[in-house]
Structure 1
Amino acid sequence: MKVQLLVSKWCPTCPQAERIWTEAAQKLPMDLQILDVAERDGREVVSRLRIKTVPAVVVDGTLKAVGVQPLGDVLKLLGA
Structure 2
Amino acid sequence: MPKVILLYASWCHNCPKAEKIWRDLKEEHEFEYEEVDVESEEGQKIAQEYSVMAVPTTVIDGEVAFIGIPSKDEALESIK
User: TM-score, structure 2 length as denominator?
Assistant: 0.93
The alignment of Structure 1 onto Structure 2 pairs a total of residues equal to 79
The one-character-per-residue Cα deviations of 1:22-47 (angstroms, maximum 9, x if unpaired) are 01111221110000001011111101
**Shift of the alpha carbon at 1:76?**
1.2
Aligned equivalents of 1:19 and 1:49: distance in 2?
23
Alpha-carbon offset, residue 71 of structure 1: 1.0
Paired residue secondary structure (2:11):
coil
Q: Tell me which amino acid in the other structure corresponds to 1:7.
A: Y
- Structure 2, unpaired ranges of 5+: none
What letter matches 1:78 in structure 2?
I
**2:18 matched residue in structure 1:** 17
Q: Following superposition of structure 1 onto structure 2, how do residues 1-80 of structure 1 map, counting pairs within 5 Å?
A: 1-79=2-80
Gaps of 5+ in 1: none
Runs of 4 or more consecutive aligned structure 1 residues displaced over 2 Å after TM superposition = none
Percent pairwise identity: 28
Q: TM-score, normalised by structure 1?
A: 0.93
